[in-house]
């Protein structure tokens, strides 16, 4: 995006993490989730990249935008936070890391294509999630989504997110949203990676492409099965009404998620 607010299209040779990233606060910590596709134009350069970067032991970031830009910015912030911890004699707070990254992106907004979500846990403010979109704005949010696939899941996130979820529910929530975005967004795909951060440290997770919570292929299979069940229901006898057939179809689809 240039100084006039016009979104710039990456050059054909640029490697971009046109992507879906998500982070949310839950009862005991934060969860970060991302897809794994990076692309150069219409060519998928990497199907299994890792877009969740460790900044410190208690702070991680999700990357979207230019792969080179996001890697450089996160590497710089990681070094800064390491030096900060040595000088201060204590780990940096999550808000400190978020402000450092926001400052870098804002001061270089005309030259960088970087969107980040920073999440972590500290002893002062507990679980925290910060969104840093293109341009360097810094916003704390309990649920943050970013990347090209985010437009497909905002409403689902608003409807289903609750801050009192436990770890398993939060991880399932994040993976479900990202899998829906991957099904609809051509720039998102591959596998799903996740990181859970609590006061006890980080726990990484992985979902292969063949086991995604949602896929268009799975939905198509469910609809085909539902059509078969409706046909069987109608063939069972002339007394079967269209409303009961519709109910059978709805139940069949619902049973398949």
In terms of domains, do 194 and 242 share one?
Answer: no
Q: Residue 33 domain-assigned?
A: yes
Q: Find the mean pLDDT for residues 83-107.
A: 97
19 is catalytic: yes
Distance CA(213)–CA(8), nearest Å, equals: 33
| Tokens matching residue 190 | 């591959």
The 10s digit of each residue's pLDDT in 25-67 is 999 999 999 999 988 878 888 999 999 999 999 999 999 999 9
Taking phi first (over 0 means left), then psi (-120 to 50 degrees means alpha), and beta for anything else, what does residue 94 get?
A: alpha
Q: How far is CA 29 from CA 12, 85, 157, in A?
A: 39, 22, 18
Q: Which of 17, 19, 20, 56 is catalytic?
A: 19
Strands (E), the chain: 15-16, 21-25, 30-34, 38-40, 43-46, 52-56, 59-65, 114-122, 126-132, 139-140, 143-146, 192-198, 201-207
pLDDT score of 254: 53
DSSP secondary-structure letter at 24?
Answer: E
Q: Which CATH number is 203's domain given?
A: 3.60.20.10
Q: Residue 10 domain-assigned?
A: no
Q: Around Cβ 243, how many Cβ atoms within 10 Å? A: 8
Distance CA(99)–CA(118), nearest Å, equals: 10
Q: The domain containing residue 220 runs over which residues?
A: 216-254
pLDDT score of 229: 78
Residue 218: is it exposed, middle or buried by C-beta count within 10 angstroms (0-12/13-18/19+)? middle
Distance CA(142)–CA(29), nearest Å, equals: 11
Distance CA(17)–CA(130), nearest Å, equals: 19
Q: How far is CA 227 from CA 243, 244, 250, in A?
A: 14, 13, 10
pLDDT score of 9: 45
Distance CA(92)–CA(128), nearest Å, equals: 13
In terms of domains, do 223 and 99 share one?
Answer: no
In terms of domains, do 191 and 242 share one?
Answer: no
In terms of domains, do 204 and 118 share one?
Answer: yes
In terms of domains, do 158 and 231 share one?
Answer: no
Q: Around Cβ 204, how many Cβ atoms within 10 Å? A: 13
Q: Residue 51 domain-assigned?
A: yes
68 has pLDDT over 60: yes
Q: Residue 2 domain-assigned?
A: no
In terms of domains, do 114 and 156 share one?
Answer: yes
In terms of domains, do 133 and 187 share one?
Answer: yes
pLDDT score of 204: 98
Q: Residue 199 domain-assigned?
A: yes
201 vs 224: which has the higher pLDDT: 201
Q: Residue 117 domain-assigned?
A: yes
Q: Residue 245 domain-assigned?
A: yes
Contact 172, 31 (CB under 8 A): no
The 10s digit of each residue's pLDDT in 117-166 is 999 999 999 999 999 999 999 999 999 999 999 999 999 999 999 999 99
pLDDT score of 112: 94
In terms of domains, do 223 and 170 share one?
Answer: no
Contact 21, 64 (CB under 8 A): yes
8 has pLDDT over 80: no
Tell me which residue has tokens 């993490």: 17
DSSP for 135-170 reads T---EE-SEEEESGGGGGTHHHHHHH--TT--HHHH
255 has pLDDT over 80: no
| Positive/negative CA dihedral, 75, 187, 153, 203 | negative
Give the chain's domain count.
Answer: 2
């Amino acid at each position: 995006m240039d100084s006039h607010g016009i979104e710039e299209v990456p050059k054909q040779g640029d490697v971009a993490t046109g992507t879906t990233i998500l982070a949310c606060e839950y009862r005991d910590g934060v969860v970060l989730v991302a897809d794994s596709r990076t692309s150069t134009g219409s060519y998928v350069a990497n199907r299994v990249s890792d877009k969740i970067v460790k900044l410190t032991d208690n702070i991680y970031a999700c990357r979207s935008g230019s792969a080179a830009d996001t890697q450089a910015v996160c590497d710089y912030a990681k070094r800064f936070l390491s030096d900060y911890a040595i000088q201060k004699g204590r780990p940096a707070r999550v808000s400190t890391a978020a402000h450092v990254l926001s400052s870098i992106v804002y001061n270089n907004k005309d030259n960088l294509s970087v969107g980040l979500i920073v999440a972590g846990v500290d002893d002062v403010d507990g679980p925290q999630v910060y969104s840093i979109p293109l341009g360097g704005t810094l916003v704390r949010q309990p649920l943050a989504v970013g990347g090209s696939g985010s437009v497909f899941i905002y409403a689902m996130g608003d409807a289903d997110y609750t801050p009192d979820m436990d770890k398993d529910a939060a991880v399932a929530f994040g993976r479900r949203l990202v899998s829906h975005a991957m099904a609809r967004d051509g720039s998102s795909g591959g596998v799903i990676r996740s990181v859970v951060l609590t006061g006890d440290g980080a726990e990484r997770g992985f979902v292969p492409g063949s086991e995604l919570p949602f896929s268009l292929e799975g939905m198509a299979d469910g609809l085909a099965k539902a059509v078969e069940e409706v046909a069987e229901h109608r063939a069972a006898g002339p007394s079967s009404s269209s409303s009961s057939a519709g109910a059978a179809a709805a139940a069949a689809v619902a049973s398949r998620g």
